[in-house]
């Protein structure tokens, strides 16, 4: 889609992890773009705790519903760590620094992939590799080596493991990001600018944001926007709700100066749970691929174009020989400017996927992300030349490059 503010305001996606390990997210020139990519898909979210192989922290939610920042910090700060990542034979000199948090008694630690990999620092996804040496530093200053279990550059999530006997562990329980609401108070704990175990507080200022990823040319879906201050070094730390549950992983800021200016973003913990589950099972995360780029359709535009539908996702481009192209989906043929926005029209309008209705372009991203898997066959209901058609699309494995210019 083309959100108005992003079309008019030039912004910078600034990494809040380490400047050495990861560069600025605009390296691929996707910062400030006004479309929502809908070539993203991933395995479904975890159905329930009973079915989930995820590690279960021994700590439970804090009692009560009131927000007490001091109580949250006291209960959870011991579970937050500083991560030091080094590339090269010797773990000295310049290295990457970020944050992370313990999620199991077995020593599993969640963080951001850009904290412990070279992706985004001028390296392609095909050249992605983890740091040669990683250390985890606890609140008391003790430091232990960590093993890189795996990483997910598409959702910017990474998993480390330390020896559970090397240091006492205080796991942080994982919450449910689908229940996060705008205005909800939150706390962020991390190591901004190397200042370990720093607390920041604020509120959720928006949910469901589709933002440019720092580590790939795909978008992150359903990011949580917060006004709590985030800076370099906060990457990978937990975003906590009033009960001390991790509801997100602090990932990036959007700023003209590169400093905290009240617009921070966190990867929703439900997406991180999916990454965590697959990393524990396979050491990697599998994604599916549709191969289209969409523009937004809103009622006034539909009336202007005299379409027979008022909601849906306009297919602007289709990747050559991609799943959508092979299924016969069609991209747009001309560009119009309406109400201050440039839109590509003339292509198919996606109305539903496997019966799930599409109201906006972001809905297509969410449905494909949360429900479909690579290799599956799905029915896309599209509107074309006044008719509704059902087209069968066989999803492929997501490539490193989306293939759209």
Active site residues: 114, 156, 235
Query: Which tokens belong to 112?
Result: 């951001």
> What residue spans of 98-234 are helical by DSSP H?
113-116
Residues constituting the chain: 405
Burial label, 279 (beta-carbon count in 10 A; 0-12, 13-18, 19+): buried
How large is the C-alpha radius of gyration of the chain?
Answer: 21
Query: Which tokens belong to 195?
Result: 């200042």
Measured in whole angstroms, the distance separating CA 349 from the mean position of its chain's CA atoms is 26
CA dihedral 317, 369, 101, 103 (to 10 degrees): -160
For 339-357, the three-class secondary structure string (H helix, E strand, C coil) is CCEEEEECCCEEEEECCEE
DSSP 276-323: HHHHHHHSS---EE--EEEEEE-HHHHHHHT-S-SSEEEEEEE-TTSH
């Amino acid at each position: 889609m083309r959100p108005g503010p992003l079309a008019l305001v030039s912004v910078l996606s600034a990494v809040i992890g380490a400047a050495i390990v990861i560069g600025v997210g605009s390296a691929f020139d996707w910062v400030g773009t006004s479309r929502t990519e809908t070539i993203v898909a991933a395995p479904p979210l975890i159905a329930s705790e009973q079915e989930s192989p995820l590690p279960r922290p021994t700590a439970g939610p804090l009692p009560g519903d009131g927000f007490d920042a001091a109580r949250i910090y006291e209960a959870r700060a011991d579970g937050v760590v500083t991560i030091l990542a080094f590339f090269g034979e010797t773990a000295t000199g310049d290295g990457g620094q970020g944050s992370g948090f313990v999620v199991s008694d077995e020593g599993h630690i969640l963080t951001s992939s850009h904290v412990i990999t070279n992706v985004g620092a001028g390296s392609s996804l095909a050249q992605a590799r983890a740091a040669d040496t990683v250390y985890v530093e606890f609140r008391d200053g003790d430091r232990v080596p960590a093993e890189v279990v795996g990483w997910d550059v598409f959702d910017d999530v990474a998993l480390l493991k330390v020896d559970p006997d090397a240091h006492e562990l205080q796991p942080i329980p994982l919450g449910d990001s689908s229940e996060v609401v705008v205005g909800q108070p939150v706390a962020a704990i991390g190591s901004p600018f190397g200042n370990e175990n720093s607390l920041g507080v604020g509120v959720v200022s928006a949910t469901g944001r589709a933002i440019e990823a720092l580590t790939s040319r795909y978008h992150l879906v359903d990011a949580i926007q917060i006004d709590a201050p985030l800076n370099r070094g906060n990457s990978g730390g937990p975003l906590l709700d009033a009960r001390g549950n991790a509801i997100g992983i602090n990932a990036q800021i959007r700023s003209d100066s590169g400093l905290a200016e009240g617009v921070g973003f966190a990867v929703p913990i439900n997406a991180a749970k999916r990454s965590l589950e697959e990393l524990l099972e396979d050491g990697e995360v599998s994604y599916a691929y549709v191969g289209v780029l969409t523009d937004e359709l809103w009622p006034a535009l539909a009336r202007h174009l005299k379409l027979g539908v008022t909601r849906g996702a306009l297919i602007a481009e289709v990747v050559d020989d991609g799943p959508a192209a092979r299924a016969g989906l069609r991209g747009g043929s001309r560009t119009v400017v309406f109400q201050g926005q440039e839109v590509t029209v003339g292509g198919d309008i996606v109305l539903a996927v496997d019966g799930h209705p599409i109201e906006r372009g972001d809905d297509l991203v969410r449905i494909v992300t949360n429900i479909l898997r690579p290799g599956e066959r799905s029915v896309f209901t599209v509107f074309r030349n006044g008719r509704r058609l059902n087209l069968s699309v066989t999803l492929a494995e997501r490539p490193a490059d989306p293939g759209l210019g």
